[in-house]
C-alpha cells in the first residue's frame, strides 16, 4: 500500500446531526460549456437547542471561489478556512445569509459527477456527492431545504433549461440570452438536485392522478431519438397508476421530466421531478432493442418513479442507510414488473441475478452488510448487496407480515417520516409498530454480512407416518466479520408425494391438516419440524418462491429432483430443481475432464429436459428459464478452486449432448414458435421469443442450427431475433458470423446504443483470442474510453462475463484489463473502481492465475495519485 492512496474510512457510529437548518437555497447559473458561473444564497439558522456559537461547514470540490459574503459583508481570506473538501466559517451568527460565487468547468469534467457535458447538452449527477462539484454547500442527505433555481444561457445553444419542481418564471435578455426559474416546493437533499441545459427534443403525454391532478409528462431526448420513447412513456404511465393502486401513493407535482443521455455512470437517477436516465433505459424500438431491453426500461422507469416516495419524500439520514431507499425501491420495482409481466419468471430472474452478482460479493473482499458500518468511498457501495439483497430483506418483511400488514407498515412509515431523513431502524420500527409485532431479531439482517447456508436433512418413519425435517443454519465468516448469529428465516415449505401430489401438512398439536404451502419461521441455529399423518416418504419442496436469501443444501436424488421439476406447484422450485440437476451434471463432468476421463451424459438429465421441452401448458418463458443452463461464473462459485477451462468444456459437453438427444423435439418446438407473425410487444410474444431463442441456441450445437440462424437473421423484424441469430453464429464459429457482424456494423454504426450490442457480442466470445479482438475494437470509431456504456460493453463484458477470455492461462487478459483500470482511473474513478472489481475473487483460482492476478493488482495499487475509489477496491482485494 502506498501512502496517500487510501482515503480515510468513515464510520456509521460517528454520525452527528448537522447543527444548522438551511431554510432556503437560491441558485443562479450562468450556463456555459467551458465555464459556468454559480451564485448561491443560503439562509442558515442554528437548530433549536444547539449551543452557540457554531461553525458553518460546507463541502466543495474543484470549485474556483470568486467571492463569499456573510450577511452582505465580504469575508476576507482570514475569516474562513478551506481545507480539502471543506470550507469552514468559525463562529457564525445564529441567523445568517451566506452568498457565494464560484466558477466550474463542465466540458473538462470527465468523471460525470457534478455538472458535465454530454454530446450537445449539459447535465448534472449529484448522488452521492456530486453537488459539491457545483457549489459550496453542506452536501449530506440530512440537510434538506427548498430550492429556487434560475438558469441563464444563450438561447440558441441552450434553448431547453430544466431543473426540479415547477416552472415559475422565464424571460429574454439582450444578446440572444434567456432565463428560466424553477421552484421545488418539497425540501430535498443536495443529491436530488438536477439541471439540464441544451438543445433537446421532447415527447409529451399526460397522467391524471386519482385525486384529479393533471400531470404533464415529458421525455427529453436528442432529436433523432424521438421515435424511441413510446415504451418508456407507457411504462411511466403504468408505474404511476400501479403505485396508486398497489401502494396508495400518488404523484405530488404538476410536471414529471425524464432526460436521456448517452454519458452516464449508472442506470438512472431519481432527481425530484427531473429524472436523468442512461439512454439504455429509455430508448427502444423493436428493431433496436431486445425484449430484455424493453423489460429493463419498464423496471428502471418504475424504479426511479417509485423513488419519489421511497427516497425523495422520505430520504436517508446518511449514506450508510442507502438500502433504506434502494432495497425498498428495488422491491417495489420487482413487484411492479411482476404485476405487469409474469410473476414467476420475474422472481426466477431476480434470484438468478442475486446468486450471480450478490453471492460472490458476500464471498469476496468487499463483503458488507446491507447497511455497511464503514466506507472509504461511498460510490463503491452502490452494490448488489445494498440493492438486490436489500430488496430480498424487504421481501421477507412482506412474506412475514403479508400484503396487508406490509402496507400498514408503509402507511405508518410515511405518516411518521414524510419530509424527513431517517434510518433503516425507523423503517423497521414502522413495520413492527403497525403490525404489533417484535422485529428485533429480524434487525440482524441489517448488520450481518454473508450468505447463510441452510443444511436440511429429513427422516421418514413409515410405521408412525411421521416425517421429520431438520434445518441447520450457518453463515460462514466474512473478511470483516468473523462471528455470525442465527438469522430469522421465513421458510415456505411444501411436501410432494412421489406421483407429484401435494401432501397435507399437519403438526402434532394440530387438529387438522392444511394443504399447500406452509410458512414456517426458522430462527435458531438448529430447528426441527415434525409432521404427522404423512402416508409416504415425501419429496420436500424447500424455501418456495425463494422465501429467504440463503444457500440450501439437501441431498436430493435424481428421482426427487425429477418429481419437483415435473410437478411442484411452485414455479421457482421447479426451476431451481432443474438448475440443480444441470449443475450437478456439469460439475461431475468437470471433474471427469480434470482427471482426463471421458465425459458422459446422465440419462436422467435428458429425461428431465425432455419433460420441460414437451410441456405445452406452461408459460414458454418459464420453460426457457428452466432450459437455461447455470452460467460459468455461477458454476465456478460452486468449486473450491475454479477450473475455468473444465467448466467451459463440461457445460459445452452437456449442452451439446442435450441438443443431440433432443434434436427432433427442439426442431419441432422451434418451428412452432417461429410462426412468421410480425413483431408484437406483448408479454406473450416476448415469452415465445425467449423459448425460441433458447431452442435455437441448443440447435446451434447440432448440424441443424447454422441454417436456422441464417434464415432467422435474414427474416428478422426485431432485435431479439437478430441478436439470438448472430450470437449463435459467433459462438459456433460459423463462417457466416463475420458477414453478419459487418452487416450489423454498417447498418448501425451511427447508433451508440445498438453499437454497444455489437461490442458485447464480440467481447463475450470464449477463448484466448478474444483479448486481441477487444484490444483492436478499442480503436473502432464507435468506441470511446470516456463513455461508460462503451467501457461496460467491451471491457466490462470481457472481464466479468467471459471467463475463458479473461482468465486465459498466460495472463494476457489480466494485463490488458489492469491497463484499462489504470487508464480509466485518470478519467472516471467510479467506472475504474467498478472495472477493478473484476479481480476481486483472485484467491479462488489456481496458483499460477493467482500469482498473475495478484501482480496486476499490485501494479494498479502502485500507481501514483490513484483515486480513493480504486484504492479501496484494490487494497481490499490484496489484504
Ligand atoms: Zn434507486
* Beta-bridge partner residues of 116: 123
CA separation for the pair 688, 694 (Å, rounded): 10
Residue 37: how many CB atoms within 10 A of its CB? 16
pLDDT tens sequence across 386-438: 999 999 999 999 999 999 999 999 999 999 999 999 999 999 999 999 999 99
Percent of the chain residues topping a pLDDT of 90: 98
Distance in Å, CA 395 to ligand 1 centroid: 16
Grid cell, residue 213, equals 391532478
Distance CA 705, CA 698 (A): 8
pLDDT at 127 over 80: yes
Q: Cα–Cα distance between 302 and 337 in angstroms, integer?
A: 8
Residue 187 Cα, ligand 1 centroid: separation in angstroms? 19
Pairing of strands 121-125, 195-198: antiparallel
pLDDT at 851 (0 to 100): 98
DSSP code of 860? H
CA distance 224 to 118: 15
Expressed in angstroms and rounded, the spacing between residue 434 Cα and the centre of ligand 1 is 25
End-to-end CA distance of the chain: 10
Evaluate if residue 272 carries a pLDDT over 50.
yes
The answer to whether residue 1 scores a pLDDT higher than 70 is no
Distance 329 CA to ligand 1 centre (A): 6
d(CA 477, CA 484): 7
With helix as H, strand as E and coil as C, how does 100-111 read? EEEEECHHHCCC
pLDDT at 831 over 60: yes
Residue 714: which pLDDT band, with cuts at 50, 70 and 90? Answer: very high
**Phi-psi category of 481—alpha, beta or left, where left has phi over 0 and alpha has psi -120 to 50?**
beta
Residue with cell 454559480: 38
Output 7 or 827, whichever has higher pLDDT.
827
pLDDT at 474: 98
User: pLDDT tens digit string along 637-685?
Assistant: 999 999 999 999 999 999 999 999 999 999 999 999 999 999 999 999 9
Angstrom CA distances, 28 to 31, 105, 108, 625, stand at 9, 16, 21, 53
| Active site (catalytic) residues | 304
pLDDT digits (tens, 9 = 90+) for 484-536: 999 999 999 999 999 999 999 999 999 999 989 999 999 999 999 999 999 99
pLDDT band at 52 (very low <50, low <70, confident <90, very high): confident
β-pairing, 274-278 vs 255-261, is parallel
Residue 344: other Cβ atoms inside 10 A: 20
Q: What is the pLDDT of residues 73-100, one digit of tens each?
A: 999 999 999 999 999 999 899 999 999 9
250 burial level (CB within 10 Å; 0-12, 13-18, 19+)? middle
User: Model confidence at 8, in pLDDT bands (50, 70, 90)?
Assistant: confident
- Which set of grid coordinates corresponds to residue 274? 427531473
How far does residue 310's CA lie from ligand 1's centre (Å)?
9
* Least trusted range by pLDDT, from 44-53, 138-147, 198-207, 781-790: 44-53
pLDDT value at residue 4: 35
Distance (angstroms) between ligand 1 centre and the Cα of 293 equals 18
- 432-490 pLDDT, tens digit each: 999 999 999 999 999 999 999 999 999 999 999 999 999 999 999 999 899 999 999 99
- Is residue 281 a contact partner of residue 297, using CB atoms and an 8 Å limit? yes
Average pLDDT of the chain, as a whole number: 97
Dist CA 289 CA 718 (whole Å): 8
**How many Å lie between the centroid of ligand 1 and the Cα of residue 326?**
5
| pLDDT > 90? residue 3 | no
CA of 626 relative to ligand 1 center, distance in Å: 29
Q: Would the pLDDT of 2 be above 70?
A: no
CA pair distance 334, 332, nearest whole angstrom: 5
Closest CA to 360 of 763, 575, 642, 553: 642
Query: What's the 267 CA to ligand 1 centre distance in angstroms?
Result: 9
387 C-alpha to ligand 1 centroid (Å): 8
Q: Three-state SS across 781-800? A: CCCCCCCHHHHHHHHHHHHH
Q: At what angle do helices 812-825 and 847-861 cross, to 10 degrees?
A: 20
Q: 342-351, pLDDT tens digit by residue?
A: 999 999 999 9
pLDDT at residue 578 greater than cutoff 60:
yes
Question: Which pLDDT belongs to residue 5?
Answer: 38
Q: What would the 3-class secondary structure string for 24-91 be?
A: EEEEEEECCCCCEEEEEEEEEEECCCCCCCEEEEEECCCCEEEEEEECCEECCCCCCEEECCEEEEEE
Contact 301, 232 (CB under 8 A): yes
Amino acid at each position: 500500500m502506498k501512502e496517500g492512496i487510501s482515503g480515510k474510512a468513515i464510520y456509521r457510529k460517528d454520525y452527528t446531526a448537522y447543527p444548522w437548518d438551511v431554510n432556503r437555497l437560491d441558485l443562479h447559473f450562468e450556463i456555459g460549456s467551458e465555464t459556468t458561473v454559480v451564485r448561491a444564497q443560503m439562509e442558515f439558522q442554528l437548530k433549536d437547542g444547539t449551543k452557540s456559537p457554531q461553525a458553518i461547514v460546507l463541502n466543495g470540490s474543484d470549485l474556483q471561489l470568486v467571492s463569499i459574503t456573510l450577511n452582505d459583508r465580504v469575508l476576507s481570506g482570514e475569516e474562513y478556512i478551506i481545507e480539502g473538501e471543506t470550507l469552514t466559517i468559525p463562529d457564525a451568527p445564529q441567523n445568517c445569509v451566506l452568498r457565494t460565487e464560484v466558477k466550474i468547468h463542465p466540458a473538462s469534467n470527465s468523471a460525470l459527477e457534478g455538472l458535465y457535458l454530454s454530446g450537445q447538452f449539459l447535465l448534472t449527477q449529484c448522488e452521492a456527492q456530486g453537488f459539491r462539484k457545483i457549489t459550496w454547500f453542506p452536501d449530506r442527505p440530512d440537510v434538506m431545504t427548498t430550492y429556487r433555481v434560475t438558469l441563464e444561457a444563450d438561447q440558441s445553444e441552450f434553448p431547453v433549461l430544466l431543473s426540479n419542481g415547477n416552472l415559475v418564471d422565464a424571460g429574454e435578455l439582450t444578446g440572444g440570452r434567456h432565463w428560466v426559474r424553477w421552484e421545488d416546493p418539497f425540501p430535498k437533499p443536495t443529491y436530488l438536485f438536477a439541471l439540464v441545459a441544451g438543445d433537446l427534443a421532447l415527447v409529451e403525454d399526460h397522467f391524471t392522478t386519482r385525486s384529479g391532478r393533471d400531470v404533464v409528462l415529458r421525455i427529453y431526448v436528442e432529436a433523432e431519438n424521438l421515435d424511441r420513447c413510446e415504451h418508456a412513456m407507457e411504462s411511466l404511465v403504468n408505474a404511476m397508476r400501479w403505485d396508486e393502486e398497489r401502494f396508495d401513493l400518488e404523484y405530488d407535482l404538476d410536471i414529471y421530466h425524464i432526460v436521456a443521455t448517452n454519458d452516464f455512470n449508472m442506470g438512472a437517477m431519481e432527481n425530484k421531478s427531473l429524472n436523468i436516465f442512461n439512454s439504455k433505459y429509455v430508448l427502444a424500438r423493436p428493431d433496436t432493442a431486445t425484449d430484455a431491453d424493453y423489460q429493463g426500461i419498464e423496471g428502471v422507469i418504475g424504479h426511479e418513479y417509485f423513488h419519489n416516495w421511497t427516497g425523495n419524500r422520505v430520504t436517508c439520514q446518511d449514506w450508510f442507510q442507502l438500502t433504506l431507499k434502494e432495497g425498498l425501491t428495488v422491491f417495489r420495482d420487482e413487484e411492479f414488473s411482476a404485476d405487469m409481466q409474469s410473476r414467476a419468471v420475474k422472481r426466477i430472474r431476480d434470484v438468478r441475478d442475486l446468486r450471480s452478482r450478490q453471492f460472490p460479493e458476500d464471498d469476496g473482499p468487499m463483503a458488507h452488510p446491507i447497511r455497511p458500518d464503514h466506507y472509504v468511498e461511498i460510490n463503491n457501495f452502490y452494490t448488489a448487496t445494498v440493492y438486490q439483497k436489500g430488496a430480498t430483506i424487504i421481501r421477507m418483511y412482506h412474506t412475514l407480515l403479508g400484503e396487508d400488514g406490509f402496507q400498514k407498515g408503509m402507511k405508518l412509515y410515511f405518516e411518521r417520516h414524510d419530509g424527513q431523513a431517517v434510518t433503516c431502524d425507523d423503517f423497521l420500527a414502522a413495520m413492527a409498530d403497525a403490525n404489533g409485532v417484535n422485529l428485533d431479531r429480524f434487525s440482524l439482517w441489517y448488520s450481518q454480512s454473508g450468505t447463510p447456508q441452510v443444511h436440511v436433512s429429513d427422516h421418514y418413519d413409515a410405521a408412525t407416518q411421521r416425517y421429520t425435517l431438520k434445518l441447520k443454519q450457518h453463515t460462514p465468516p466474512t473478511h470483516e466479520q468473523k462471528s455470525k448469529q442465527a438469522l430469522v428465516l421465513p421458510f415456505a415449505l411444501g411436501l410432494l408425494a412421489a406421483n407429484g401430489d401435494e401432501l397435507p401438512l399437519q403438526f402434532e398439536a394440530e387438529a387438522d391438516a392444511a394443504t399447500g404451502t406452509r410458512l414456517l419461521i426458522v430462527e435458531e441455529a438448529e430447528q426441527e419440524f415434525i409432521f404427522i399423518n404423512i402416508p409416504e416418504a415425501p419429496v420436500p419442496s424447500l424455501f418456495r418462491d425463494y422465501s429467504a436469501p440463503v444457500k440450501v443444501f439437501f441431498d436430493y436424488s435424481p428421482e426427487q429432483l425429477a418429481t419437483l421439476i415435473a410437478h411442484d406447484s411452485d414455479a421457482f422450485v421447479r426451476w431451481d430443481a432443474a438448475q440443480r440437476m444441470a449443475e450437478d451434471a456439469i460439475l461431475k463432468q468437470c471433474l471427469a475432464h480434470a482427471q482426463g476421463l471421458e465425459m458422459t451424459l446422465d440419462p436422467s438429465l435428458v429425461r428431465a429436459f425432455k419433460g420441460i421441452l414437451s410441456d405445452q401448458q406452461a408459460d414458454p418463458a418459464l420453460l426457457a428459464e428452466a432450459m437455461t443452463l447455470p452460467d460459468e461464473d455461477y458454476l465456478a462459485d460452486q468449486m473450491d478452486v475454479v477450473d475455468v477451462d473444465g467448466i467451459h468444456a463440461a457445460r459445452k459437453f452437456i449442452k451439446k449432448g442435450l441438443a443431440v438427444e433432443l434434436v427432433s423435439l427442439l426442431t419441432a418446438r422451434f418451428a412452432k414458435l417461429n410462426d412468421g407473425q410480425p413483431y408484437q410487444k406483448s408479454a406473450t410474444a416476448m415469452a415465445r421469443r425467449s423459448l425460441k431463442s433458447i431452442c435455437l441456441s441448443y440447435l446451434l450445437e447440432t448440424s441443424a442450427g447454422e441454417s436456422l440462424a441464417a434464415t432467422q437473421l435474414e427474416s428478422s423484424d426485431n432485435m431479439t431475433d437478430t441478436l439470438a441469430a448472430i450470437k449463435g453464429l459467433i459462438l459456433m464459429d460459423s463462417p457466416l458470423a463475420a458477414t453478419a457482424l459487418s452487416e450489423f456494423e454498417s447498418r448501425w454504426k451511427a447508433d451508440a446504443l445498438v453499437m454497444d450490442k455489437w461490442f458485447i457480442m464480440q467481447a463475450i466470445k470464449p477463448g484466448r483470442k478474444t483479448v486481441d479482438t477487444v484490444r483492436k475494437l478499442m480503436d473502432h470509431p464507435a468506441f470511446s474510453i470516456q463513455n461508460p456504456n462503451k467501457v461496460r460493453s467491451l471491457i466490462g463484458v470481457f472481464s466479468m462475463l467471459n471467463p475463458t477470455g479473461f482468465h486465459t492461462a498466460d495472463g494476457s487478459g489480466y494485463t490488458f484489463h489492469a491497463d484499462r483500470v489504470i487508464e480509466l482511473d485518470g478519467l472516471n474513478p467510479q467506472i475504474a473502481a467498478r472495472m477493478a472489481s473484476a479481480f476481486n475473487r483472485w484467491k479462488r483460482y489456481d496458483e499460477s492465475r493467482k500469482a498473475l492476478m495478484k501482480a496486476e493488482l499490485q501494479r494498479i495499487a502502485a500507481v501514483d495519485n490513484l483515486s480513493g475509489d480504486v484504492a479501496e477496491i484494490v487494497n481490499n482485494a490484496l489484504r
